[in-house]
Chains A and B, each alone.
Chain A
Amino acid sequence: MQELTRRQMLAGLAAMPWLLPSGLNASVSRARVLVVGGGFAGATAARYLKRQAPALEVVLIEPKSAFYTCPFSNNVLAGMAELDSLRQDYRALQRQQVLHVRERAREIDLQARQVVLQDGQRLRYDRVFLAPGIDMDWQAIEGYDRNASMHLPHAWQAGAQTSLLRRQLQAMNDGGLVIISVPDNPYRCPPGPYERASLIAHYLSQAKPRSKLLILDSKDSFSKQALFQQGWQTLYGERIEWVGRAGDGRVVRADAIRRELVCEFGQRHRAAVINLIPPQKAAEVAQRSGLVDASGWVPIRPATFQAREASDIYVAGDACIAAPMPKSAYSANAQAKVAVAALLADLAGQAPPPAVWRNTCYSLLAPGQAVSIAADYGVQAQRLVELPGSLALSPLQAPLGLRAQEAALAEAWYQSICADAWGQLL
């Protein structure tokens, strides 16, 4: 069943909107595309650029030797998987003749058509595929900066932060309180904090049965709220408490040493473990390059995912403004393929192919139980829109078998999309 599901999922991914421009001309083969960022969008772009145009010079600028995925990192927090299970490296891309430059991109010099690296080196480009992901907005919550995140981890970029939060959960006494603080929209992976709450609650029910979990939310409602709250009630009873903005759930100040949070209307909360997910923005390279708007995210031209302010720069993934598509790994992968097709068409002097996108977000309520939300997207009147009738949400009243089936689909999706992005065999 699982293998069949994986094959079906791979077939589904292969059927994603993809139109290779016919008759790639010589200008394409001579061109150099710099891919900034090796996450879901960047890795997908590098792989598909090289696959569709083998003569193209594709350079991946990514300081790390491996990427740890945010999807499925909540499983690590709950002790259901090891951190290594999230690890994706760039060896398959290198075998595909993608040149991996292990350096951070500092900014894009749009005038000189060069990407400036952290060490000062400059790389010329014909096109840039910008997929830098997110940075935390360290100015948003008083007292919460990079140092504070060593005590109150955000764990919203997987890796060391994930391990830190996991260790804190393990070290906590039975009976200790866990707090998850959730920012206002937009942020990476809208249902992610609530899946995290579910899986940490599962861990607590097994390892710290007297412990509880409090969600302090800056919003008045959240993604898949009814599904999550029904699941929490059924699976965890009173273990999870959600406090929205109206209940004074918006955190405005943090004291990392005292492990204390202060909310908008003065309520103070101390906890044994605090997972503070702060507001976010497009990563620094996008800011430095002057590509973001006042919101801190990068506006794009929806049909091609070119940066609105620079037509040689294609932007995909969490850094760009692609709403109503959520900031998800599925979206990043789908956006990257469409943007690559548009980029290649552009290099070939052709019109970009029309495209549609799909997104699905799976969330685990517990091991072996998941819910999902999915929708299709297109461009209408030069805007990205959710296609009418395409939104699909797991039913509220569902047999356990359906939740189990969705959990298997989630696992298959994860394996498939990682293989699709980083090129490793399943």
Chain B
Amino acid sequence: MSLRAVLLMLMLAGPAAAQPWGQAQEAVEQWLQGAQAQTQGLTVEVPSWVEDGAFVAVDLTLHGAQPPLSLSLLRSGEEDPRIATVQLQAWEAPLRLSTRVRLPRSQQLIVLARDGRGRIWQAAQSVEVLASSCLSPSLGNSAATLGQLQGWLEAGEHGLELRSLLRHPMETGRRPGADGQLLARHLPTRFEINGTHGNLLRVEPFEGLAANPYWRLWLPTGHTPLLLRWVDADGREFRRQLP
């Protein structure tokens, strides 16, 4: 192969190789801070294609991590690549965590994890958003139902399964309403789960978290009752105790 051909290949491959995470590149680099991430132990299950990018189900599994654990969920194709950051103090191992994310177009979903021993994991999956002519955009939530917080706690073989869903539009300020005007940005600032021994989970949500944010995870027994608490942009709180 000639030198010219090699240079041409490097030129073509260079930008892609240097920026494999698209719009999330800077966020990934900040998280890694030059460290090498491992891929063994962290799996991200997400459909390879979806019709509705507004609600993409994501299931994470992480083996061998020690608390406290930090997670960052990112997407590669948006101006604001952030989906959520998650801090976990306790979980039933292996960690199993599910949520729903917002992917307006085909792109990569990226998950980064750092545990209490400083070990770092990274995993990514591509999702093709096919869309569908028969989808309707969410009609939003009326003031009467905003903040309705669903919760379910069930003891099983693998600890306590917690499911929760907050009725919230997660408006990004980028979506037009029925009158063509952009709907005002409206994102909650925090989600916490506290048990009898203190905080178990803290989430900072961003634009990439789907409307009506949903979280599911398995916790060890001995922390109940659990207090679920969302804090909205205006400081209003939505709470629920389980059981």
Where the two chains meet, the residues of A that have a C-beta atom closer than 8 Å to any C-beta of B are 185-186, 190-191, 219-226, 245-248, 264-266, 293-295, 321, 323-326, 359, 361, 373, 375, 383-384, 386, 391
Chain B min CB distance to A17 (Å): 17
Whether, in the assembled complex, B151 has its beta carbon less than 8 Å from a beta carbon of chain A, the answer is yes
Residues of B41-56 at the interface with A, using a CB-CB cut-off of 8 Å, are 47-49, 51-52, 54-55
Where the two chains meet, the residues of B that have a C-beta atom closer than 8 Å to any C-beta of A are 47-49, 51-52, 54-55, 130-139, 141, 145, 148, 150-152, 163, 165, 167, 211-212
- Which residues of chain B are near A325, meaning CB under 8 Å? 133
Contact of A221 among B133, B139, B151 (CB under 8 A): B139
Structural contact, A220 and B211, CB atoms closer than 8 A: yes
Instruction: Assess A220 versus B55: contact at CB under 8 Å? Given A246-B150, A265-B165.
Output: yes
Chain B min CB distance to A360 (Å): 10
- Which residues of chain A are near B134, meaning CB under 8 Å? 190-191, 223-224, 326, 361, 373
Show 11 residue pairs from A and B whose CB-CB distance is below 8 angstroms, ordered by the A residue: A185-B52, A219-B55, A246-B148, A264-B163, A265-B165, A293-B49, A295-B49, A321-B49, A323-B132, A326-B134, A361-B134
- Which residues of chain B are near A386, meaning CB under 8 Å? 131, 133
- Which residues of chain B are near A373, meaning CB under 8 Å? 133-134
Instruction: Assess A190 versus B165: contact at CB under 8 Å? Given A226-B139, A248-B150.
Output: no
Structural contact, B47 and A295, CB atoms closer than 8 A: yes
A361 to B133, CA, bound (A): 10
Instruction: Assess A225 versus B131: contact at CB under 8 Å? Given A220-B211, A265-B150.
Output: no
Structural contact, B138 and A220, CB atoms closer than 8 A: yes
Chain B min CB distance to A230 (Å): 11
Chain B min CB distance to A137 (Å): 15
Instruction: Assess A190 versus B139: contact at CB under 8 Å? Given A246-B212, A264-B163.
Output: no
- Which residues of chain B are near A226, meaning CB under 8 Å? 136, 139
A245 to B100, CA, bound (A): 12
Structural contact, A359 and B150, CB atoms closer than 8 A: no
Structural contact, B138 and A186, CB atoms closer than 8 A: no
Structural contact, B48 and A294, CB atoms closer than 8 A: yes
Residue of A222, A265, A373 contacting most chain B CB atoms (<10 Å) = A265
Contact of A324 among B47, B132, B148 (CB under 8 A): B132
A326 to B150, CA, bound (A): 31
Instruction: Assess A375 versus B133: contact at CB under 8 Å? Given A220-B212, A246-B167, A248-B150.
Output: yes
Structural contact, A293 and B131, CB atoms closer than 8 A: no
Chain B min CB distance to A23 (Å): 36
A293 to B48, CA, bound (A): 9
Chain B min CB distance to A251 (Å): 14
Instruction: Assess A323 versus B131: contact at CB under 8 Å? Given A223-B136, A265-B165, A266-B152.
Output: yes
Structural contact, B150 and A323, CB atoms closer than 8 A: no
Residue of A191, A224, A225 contacting most chain B CB atoms (<10 Å) = A225
Contact of A185 among B135, B138, B167 (CB under 8 A): B135
Residue of A226, A248, A324, A386 contacting most chain B CB atoms (<10 Å) = A324
Task: For the A-B complex with A323-B131, A386-B133 known, give 9 more contacts whose Cβ atoms are closer than 8 Å.
Answer: A186-B132, A219-B55, A220-B138, A221-B138, A222-B136, A226-B139, A245-B212, A264-B165, A295-B47
A246 to B150, CA, bound (A): 8
- Which residues of chain B are near A223, meaning CB under 8 Å? 134-136
Contact of A247 among B137, B148, B152, B211 (CB under 8 A): B148
Chain A min CB distance to B238 (Å): 13
- Which residues of chain A are near B51, meaning CB under 8 Å? 185-186, 323-324
- Which residues of chain B are near A190, meaning CB under 8 Å? 132, 134-135
Structural contact, A221 and B165, CB atoms closer than 8 A: no
- Which residues of chain A are near B167, meaning CB under 8 Å? 246-247
4 nearest A-B residue pairs (beta carbon): A323-B130, A190-B134, A223-B134, A265-B150
Identity of the chain A residue whose Cβ is nearest the Cβ of B167 in the assembled complex? A246
